[in-house]
Structure 1
């Protein structure tokens, strides 16, 4: 993943990304470069445009389940104002209701 991220970063300022570009980026972050993995990334991306690769990845991610069950949104889910002008206020806790259950004098694990 680090090699792909470095490739994307290098491609922002340069259309002809080389392995040396990736090595410079990773070494500046203190990451050792695995030549085999770096070669593999360049082999997979050879002759492909980044736009096409990203679009294909986006389509693949669309089919991945995200674990959402369509439940109710979280409390206090109103988005903050643009630019961070408004501070988010934590919702106040609801008062506890008195239990109508009768204490029978023993616990569940007694």
Structure 2
């Protein structure tokens, strides 16, 4: 992803066809060591393509990916017999009633020392 991001930054900066050296300069400016084979792969795949069109095509592909989730977790919890939720809630309530002790012993200093 870092190579794609660097390529996109270069194109947004006005460079229609970034080179490997351009990617190295961008990534090097934030302390990232460049793997030349990966940078070359990104450049060869995106060379001559309009980055806005590539992004639009990617959005279409992502729109077709199912992104639902969590549907399987609820039935699994309900199938547990129903008795497991009440004791857990009771334990949480008991802990809320007890005040938490605050200690700065491990910090090595006090606020007003």
- TM-score range, shorter-chain basis? 0.5 to 0.7
Instruction: Confirm or deny that 1:42 pairs with 2:43.
Output: yes
Instruction: Confirm or deny that 1:2 pairs with 2:2.
Output: yes
Structure 2 unaligned blocks of 5 or more: 71-113
Q: What residue is the counterpart of 2:61 in the other structure?
A: 60
Task: Compare the two structures and name the one with the higher helix fraction.
Answer: 2
1:23-102 equivalent positions in 2, closer than 5 A = 23-67=24-68
* TM-score normalised by the chain length of structure 2: 0.56
User: How many residues are aligned here?
Assistant: 70
Q: Is the 2:17–2:47 contact (alpha carbons within 8 Å) kept by the matching residues of 1?
A: no
| Distance in 2 (alpha carbons) for counterparts of 1:57 and 1:42 | 17
Structure 1 unaligned blocks of 5 or more: 70-110
* TM-score normalised by the chain length of structure 1: 0.58
Give how far 1:65 is off. Answer: 1.5
Give how far 1:67 is off. Answer: 1.9
- The structure 1 segments of at least 4 consecutive aligned residues displaced by more than 2 Å after TM superposition are none
